[in-house]
Chains A and B, each alone.
Chain A
Amino acid sequence: MATSPTTVVDQLLAGLHLPDGFDAVAGVIREFLDQVTNSAIWTRYGQQSLEWLIGMNPVDRLFMLSALTLLLMLLLGRLRSAGVLAVLLYGAQFAALLSTDTLFGAPLAAAVRITVADQSLHWSYDALSWFFAMITIGTGFVTAWYAAGSWMRRYREAGRSARAFHVALALNCFGMLLLVGSADLLSLFLGWELVSWASFLLMALVGGPAAQAALKYLAYAISGAMLILGAIALIYGISGSFEYDAVVAAIRSMTDAQVWTLLLLLGGGFAVKLGLLPFHLWQAAAYAEAPGAGSVFLGAISARMGLFGIIVFIVGMIGVSRLMTLEIPYTFMSSRELIAWIAALTIIVPTYTALQQHDARYLLAWHGIGQGGYMLLGLMVGDAVGSAGGLLHCFNYAITQAALLMAVFAVVHRTGTADLNQLGGLVTRMPLTFLVLLFGIISLAGLPPMAGFVSKWMVYRSLITEGMPLLFVAAVVGTLGTILSVYKLIHNIFLGQLRVEHQEVAEAPLSMLIPMLGLSALIFLAGFIPGPALSWVAQVQGQLGLPVVPWVLGGIVDPRGGLDMIWLVGILMAGFGVGALVFYGFGGRSRRVHQLDNYAGGHFLTADVHYQYSDNFYAGLMHLIGPWYRGSFRWLERSLAATLDLVSFGAEGLYRLAQPTLLMLAAAVAMLAWVL
C-alpha cells in the first residue's frame, strides 16, 4: 500500500505503545484522516507531496521545511493565525531534525549542493550539528509560541509589522540550521553571514535605541566576519581546498606561527559573536532592546553560534592538545591557558556588570555574556567531564535564559516596565511568572536541583581534578556574583512592597505562560535526570574526538567524586517535606497580614509610603568594589572608534583638499613600497 497519512499515523501510534483506552482517540484521528485522503484535493496534490516528503533525504527535508517556514512567513506573516502556523512549522522542523537520526546514527550529507566557480558548497549533519540545531529549533518553537497570542496582538497595536518579526525569526533559524550543517569553509562562511545579518534584522526591528544597538552590533559583526574571511584565505592558501578533510590535514602541517595567526583570526572572529572579552560591549544592549520574543531567541541561542565555530575549528580541528604546545613567548602560559583566562574574565566582568544594572532585560543580557565564559572554560579544560560540562551548559543555559527572559517580558507585558526600581511585590499578582523566574534564577546561579547546577558542577570538578586553582576560584566568583545579581532581580520584581499602580495587575496571558511553564518543567527535569542530555553530549564528544564523559541516568560516575542528581533531588524534596511538616504540622495557625502591617520603627505605614529597598541594592559591596568599575573596555572601544574616525577624516581631507592625482600618486607609491 502506498504511503498515506493514515499509515504514517498508524506507525507513529504503534511506536508509542499507548494503553488500550487511546484506541478511541486513534480511531477518531484515523477517521478524520480517511476523510482527508478521500478528498479530491488530496488525491490530486497531497498524496504526491507526502510521498515526496517521506522519500526525501532527511537533511534536505529539514532545510526544505525551514525554508518553507521562511517562505510562508514572508507570504502569510500578516495574518493573525501566522503565529500558530509558525509554531506548527517549528514543530515540524523539530520532527524533521529527529528523523535525520544523526545524533546516535551516522553523519548524513545533504543531497543539495551548490557549485560556484568550480567550488562546491555542501552540507552535512552530525552529532554536533544535531545538538546545536536541536537547541536552535527548540528555542524557535518556544519563542514562536510565546509570541503567537497576546504578545503579538500588543506588538501589532504598537503599529509594528508582525510579518517582519516572523520573517526575522524564521530567517534566524534557517541561517543557523545552514551554519551548523556546513561541511566546508565556503558553506560555513555563507551560513555565518546569513546568521549575522538575520540577527541584525531581529535586533533592529523596533527602531530607536534598538536600532542604535543593532548598528553597533553590525560594526562588530562585520569586523568579525573579516577576520574569519582572513582565516579562510589563510587555510585555503595552504590546503588549496575548502573541504574540511583537507583543512584538517593543512592545519596539521602548519607551523606554530601559522597556527597562532589562524587562532587569532578565527578566535577573534568567533569571539565577537560569542561576546568574549574584549568584544562583548555590543551584546547586552543589542539583545535587551530587541522586541520581547526576539530577545528571548537572541539571548538563548544566537551568541552560541560563535561557540559552535570555536568548537568546530579550535576544539575539533586544532585540538586542545595542540593549543597546549603553543607557548606564549616570555611567559609560562600556553595558548590554551590564554583562552581559558579570557573565558574566566568573560565570566567575571560581565557578571559584575550585570550586578549594577537597573533594567531587568539588561541584567539578563549581561549574564548571557558571562555564561558563555563557562562553556568555553569547560571546553578549554578539555577533559571528559569539563568539555561535557561546557557543551551541556549550552543546552541548560538556553532553556534557562529563555525562561528567564520570557518571565521578564511577561512582567513588561503586564506592567509596561522592566525598571527594577519601578516594580515590587508582584508575586501576589503573577505567582506563576514568579515560579518561572524562580526556577530560572536557581538554574542560572547554578544551584541544585535545577539544570544549571549539573553543567556548572562539571566545569568546577574538571578545574579541580586538572589542578587549576585560580580558574576555579574565578568560576566560583562568577557564580557568587550571579547569585547576588539574580536575587536582586527576583526581589525587586516580585518581592517586597506591591506598588499602588500594580494592585490590579493580572497574571501573564496563557499563550505566554504555557511555553514558560514548559521550559520551567524542562529546567527541573534536566536537573533531576541529567542522563538524556548527557547522552547527547557524550555523542558530540565522541564525534569531536574528545574523551567521553562517564554518564549515567542521574549524572556522573567517578570514584574521585561523582554526582547523582536523582538522589540529591530526591533527598532535597524529602527535606522540604520534613520542613513543611515541622512548619505546618506543629504550632499555632499563622494569620496573613497586609503588607503595610509591618515594623517601621514606631511609624505607621500608609499606602502612599514607599517602603521598599531596591536602588543600589548592594550598597555595602559597592563601597568597596564600586571604584573598580572604570569602564576600561568602553574607553578602549571609544579610543578605537576615535582612531578610525581620525584616519578616515584624514583620508577624506587628503582626497578633497589635495589634488586627486597627488592622492593617486601617494597610493601608487605606497603600493609599490609594499609590493617591493
Chain B
Amino acid sequence: MDWLSAVSLDGLAAVDFRWLGLVLELILMPLIAFVVGLGLVLMLRKIAARLQRRVGPPLLQPLWDIIKLHAKETQTSHGLIHEIGIVMAIGGYVAAVTLLPVPGMNGLAAQGGLIALLYMTMIPSLGLALGVGQCANPNGSIGISRALTAMLAYDVPMVIVIFGVAFHFGSLNLVYLIAAQQAGGIATWGIVQMPLLALAGLFALQGMLGKQPFEIYVAPAEIATGPMVEMGGKFLGGLFVMQCFQLYTAGVLYVALFLGGGENWLTFLFKVFVVTAIPMTIAMVFPRYRTEDMVRLFWKWPTMIGLLGIAFVMN
C-alpha cells in the first residue's frame, strides 16, 4: 500500500489546518471573555459589599442572576427594535473581544487594530440606544442622551491615549504593541514609558465603565435607571451579559496598552482584575456628577494630562 500512504500524506501536508485553530480561537475568546466578565462582576459586588460591611454574593451569583432573568415568566417587549437592540448589544461585544489578544490567542487582532476595536465597541452601545429608543419612555431616552454625552466626554482623553500609545510603538496592531512591551520586562511596559498617558487612561476607564462619579446615565433617583427603565426579564439579562463583556473589554484593553498584556494566563488575569478593581473602589466613595460637570472635568484634567503625555512621547 505504498501509493496510498504517499497520497494521503501528501494530501495532509497540502491542507492548511491553521484556519481550524483560528476558528477555535474565535469560539473560545468570547467564551473566556464571558466567564472572566462574570468574575469581574462578582468582584465588583464583593468590593461594594465589603466597603458597606456586608458579606456579598456567593461565587455563582452573577450566573444565577442571568439565568433567573432569562427564566422569568413576564417578558415585556416594546417591539422588534427593542429586541434587536439587545441582540446587537451582546453580539457587538462577542465580535469585539476577538480583536483583543489574550495569552496564546490573537484572534482577529491583526485584521483590525486599535481604532477598529474602539469603534467596534460602539456597536453594542448603538444597539442598546436603539432598543431603549423604541421603548418610548422619556426616562430611557434621557439616559441615552446622557450616555452619549458621557461618551463624548471620556472618548477625548481616550483617543489621546490611543494616539500616544500607537505613536510611541509605531503601530496600531495590538499583537505588536504587546510584544513590544514584553520585550524588555517591566521597563518596556506602557505604564513605565508613558506614565502620564496611563494616568489619563485610568480616568477614561472610569468614565467608560460608567462608575461613580460618572454614572450620570443610570441615575436611579433622577431618571429611574435611565436605559434600564423598560428593561425586565431577559432584556435586563442581556444587558447583564453585556456588562460582563464591557468590564472584560475595558480591563483587557488597559492591560494591553499599559501593562504589557499577558505573559501567561495567571499574570494576565491578575492584571485584569487589579485594573478593573480600581474604578470599582473609587466609585464607592463618590456621589454622582451632573452631566455638564462630567464633560467639563474630562475635557480638562485627563485631556491635559494626556496631551502632556503625548508631548513627551513625540519628543
Contact = CB atoms under 8 A, between A and B. Distances in A.
B230 interface: yes
Interface in B96-153: 96, 98-99, 108, 110-116, 119-120, 122-123, 126, 129-130, 133-139, 141-142, 144-146, 148-149, 151-152
Contacts of A589: 75
Contact of B92 (A481, A560, A575): A575
A344 to B, nearest CB: 14
B141 A561 contact: no
B248 interface: no
B107 to A, nearest CB: 8
Contacts of B114: 561
Nearest to B112: A568
B93 interface: yes
A568 B81 CA distance: 23
Interface stretch (A88-96, A266-274, A446-454, A530-538): A446-454
A448 B111 CA distance: 13
B230 A598 contact: yes
B77 A593 contact: yes
Contacts of B56: none
Contact of A579 (B72, B91, B155, B159): B91
Contact of A621 (B95, B123, B229, B295): B295
A567 B96 CA distance: 12
B129 A487 contact: yes
Contact of A560 (B26, B151, B171, B230): B171
Interface stretch (A71-79, A110-118, A467-475): A467-475
B223 to A, nearest CB: 10
Contacts of B87: 576, 579-580, 583-584
B215 interface: no
B95 A467 contact: no
A226 interface: no
Interface residues on A, range: 35 or more
Nearest to A587: B70
Contacts of A564: 108, 111-112
Interface in A472-512: 472-473, 476-477, 480-481, 483-484, 487-488, 490-491, 494-498
B90 interface: yes
B102 to A, nearest CB: 16
Given A567-B112, A612-B136, A582 B76 contact: no
Interface string B284-305: 0000001110011000000000
A44 interface: no
B251 interface: no
Contacts of B291: 619-621, 623-624
A45 interface: no
A457 B8 CA distance: 45
A597 B135 CA distance: 10
B198 to A, nearest CB: 17
Contacts of B238: 579, 582-583
A563 B111 contact: yes
B62 interface: no
Given A448-B120, A590-B77, A620-B216, A571 B151 contact: no
B233 interface: yes
Contacts of B119: 446-448, 453, 457
Interface string A228-257: 000000000000000000000000000000
A448 B93 CA distance: 13
Contact of B91 (A464, A580, A600, A619): A580
B214 interface: no
A56 interface: no
Given A561-B173, A590-B83, A611-B136, A473 B295 contact: no
Interface string B155-192: 11001100110110011110010000000000000000
A574 interface: yes
A15 interface: no
A427 B81 contact: yes
Given A590-B83, A620-B291, A579 B172 contact: no
A427 B172 contact: no
Contacts of B120: 448, 568, 572
B81 to A, nearest CB: 6
Contact of A559 (B159, B173, B310): B173
Given A579-B86, A598-B136, A473 B123 contact: no
A562 interface: yes
A540 to B, nearest CB: 24
A192 interface: no
B79 interface: yes
B71 interface: yes
B200 interface: no
Interface of A: 424-425, 427-428, 434, 438, 442, 446-448, 453, 457, 460-461, 464-465, 467, 469, 472-473, 476-477, 480-481, 483-484, 487-488, 490-491, 494-498, 554, 559-564, 567-568, 571-572, 574-580, 582-584, 586-593, 595, 597-601, 611-614, 617-621, 623-625
18 contacts: A427-B79, A469-B167, A477-B156, A480-B151, A483-B122, A483-B148, A498-B136, A567-B112, A577-B91, A579-B86, A579-B90, A590-B234, A591-B76, A598-B135, A599-B137, A612-B136, A618-B145, A624-B292
Given A483-B151, A484-B152, A491-B129, 19 more contacts: A457-B116, A469-B164, A487-B126, A490-B130, A491-B141, A495-B81, A496-B138, A559-B176, A568-B95, A579-B86, A586-B234, A588-B71, A590-B75, A592-B77, A618-B148, A620-B149, A620-B290, A620-B295, A624-B292
The 4 A-B pairs with the shortest beta carbon distances in the complex, nearest first, are: A620-B291, A561-B172, A495-B133, A579-B91
